Structure formats: C-alpha cells, structure tokens
Amino acid sequence: MATWFITGCSTGLGRAFAEAALAHGHTVVVTARDVARVQDLADAHPAAALALSLDVTDDAQVAEAVRAAEERFGRIDVLVNNAGYGYRAALEEGDDADVRQLFETHVFGTVRTIKAVLPAMRARRSGTIVNLSSIGARICPEGSGYYAAVKAAIEALTLSLRKEVAPLGITAMAVEPGGFRTDFAGRSLMQAASPIPDYADTAGRRRKEHDTVHGTQPGDPAKAAEALLSAVESEHPPYMLLLGNDASDGFRAALDALRTEVDEWERLSRSTDFDA
C-alpha cells in the first residue's frame, strides 16, 4: 500500500486517478481548490482518503497540504501533478495575464509541489513523481500554442528531474494523454476573449463555440487511471506514458515528420563546426 497525493481531483483524470488508487487499496490525498468537490471521496473512504483544499499557485497552501498529508499518513509515496486547465488562443490573441496564470498553474504549480515532497522522498530514498502533460505538447495544434508550451516545459523539467533523482531511488515520469471524456473541453477550457478575424480558419476553428468534440472524446478516464497505476507499480516505470490511441498515433506521426525534416536539413546542420 502506498500513499498517493493527487492535485486537481474534482473532475476528469484527477478524480479517476484517485478512485483507481483507492480501489487498489492505496491511501490517497485528494485535493482541489474547492475541497467540497472532493469531500465525497473522503466520506466514502474515511480511513483511506484525506480531502484537502489546494491551489497550486499558493506557496503556503502547497506547504500546508503536504504537511497535513504526511501528518495523516506518514509519507507521500506518489505525487501526481494533475491540476490544470486548457487555454486556446492564437499566439497574437493571448492575453498576457491569462498566459502568465496558465504558466503559474501548470509549470510553477508543478514545481511547487515537487519541491514540497522531494525532501522527504530523498530522505527515504524512494518515491514517484508523475507530471501530467498532453499530446498537445507534441502535435501543437493551431490555437493551442500556449497550452502546448506549458506542457512541453513540464516534459523537459520531468526528464531532467528523472536524471537528477534516479540515483536517489526516486522515479519521475510524464504522462501524455490524448482526448479523454472529461470536462477538459467544457468548463475547464479557457480561451482568448477577443478573437482576431484573420485567425478564424486556424485557431478560430478550435474555439469553444465551434468545438464538437466535448463529450465524444475516445478516451475512457477509468482505463487511463488503471494504466497509470500499472506504470507506476511496474519495475521500471517509463519516462513517457502515452494514454490513448490518438496520443500514440499523434506522437508517432509528429516523430516521423520531425525525423524527415532533420534528415532533409542534416547537411546544412552539420556544416557549422570549425573546419578540422
């Protein structure tokens, strides 16, 4: 039995992760900005679940939540950084304050929780850190440049972290989901307030009012949660866990396209060293 600390458990994948971990007999700290939205999980599992308020952009709340989790269960074995939301805007349309808040939540919020749990994990020489990315970081759709950027940053941080903590007995991994039937494209999706007409046929096609995907995504959150538990509990957890056929297909297509372009420009790339 391990203790999981999961951010953003009110809906979607975060809630599915919490439910699966509890079903597998783990103890789980379920967090959300509004604790009332996760209290039912704690009420249903009074001995195994602890519901806490947590805004990952608040240093004091992160520190207090980790302290309360360790006081209740003694340790945090698995941190899942899931809290976040979508944001769609052409690059030129993005509001500066909205973009800063997006980075504050996804990137710096992830860093805050990692820094809060690592001292105890280092002391025990054990632990797993799971950071949620998105296939968007790989395929970079029009209108999702800012969201893809925060998820790409999380992936880069995770790979460096993995190399830093592996000698200490700690694992770090990134998860790239595709489209799952959650509220991501509904309530959890923000967008630029003032669209620019010139982007109507690119970023504009992906605005909420034009979105026909919500509620029809192919991914099953319960199956994603079971897959995550399998990966975390495996002998050698991966650096990158793709979730969904669309994620696997999109990743391979992006990789093939990048390899083709690298090959096409390789001679020029290799022409920039000093002559021997």
Residue from 10, 134, 144, 151 carrying the catalytic annotation: 151
Residue from 10, 134, 146, 147 carrying the catalytic annotation: 147
pLDDT band at 184 (very low <50, low <70, confident <90, very high): low
Supply 79's token pair: 């941190």
Q: Supply the pLDDT for residue 215.
A: 67
Q: Which run of H or E residues covers position 32?
A: strand 27-32
Q: Supply the pLDDT for residue 91.
A: 97
- Residue span of the structural domain in which 216 resides: 3-246
Query: Can you give the pTM of this predicted structure?
Result: 0.94
Residue 153 lies in a domain: yes
Confirm whether 234 is a catalytic residue.
no
Residue 254 lies in a domain: no
Residue 163 lies in a domain: yes
Asked whether 38 and 10 are in contact (CB, 8 A), the reply is yes
Please state the domain count of the chain: 1
Mean pLDDT value of segment 93-103: 97
Q: Decide which of 208 and 68 is more confident.
A: 68
Residue 21 lies in a domain: yes
Asked whether 54 and 64 are in contact (CB, 8 A), the reply is no
Residue 276 lies in a domain: no
Residue from 10, 133, 134, 144 carrying the catalytic annotation: 133
Supply 222's token pair: 């319960």
Residue 35 lies in a domain: yes
Residue 260 lies in a domain: no
Q: Supply the pLDDT for residue 161.
A: 98
Confirm whether 133 is a catalytic residue.
yes
Say if residue 48's pLDDT is above 90.
yes
CATH code where residue 28 lies: 3.40.50.720
Say if residue 7's pLDDT is above 90.
yes
Asked whether 180 and 221 are in contact (CB, 8 A), the reply is yes
119-141 tens-digit pLDDT: 999 999 999 999 999 999 999 99
Of 3, 77, 5, 8, nearest in space to 221 by CA = 8
Supply 235's token pair: 């002998």
Four-residue CA torsion sign, 39, 40, 46, 49 = negative
Residue 266 lies in a domain: no
Confirm whether 199 is a catalytic residue.
no
Say if residue 256's pLDDT is above 90.
yes
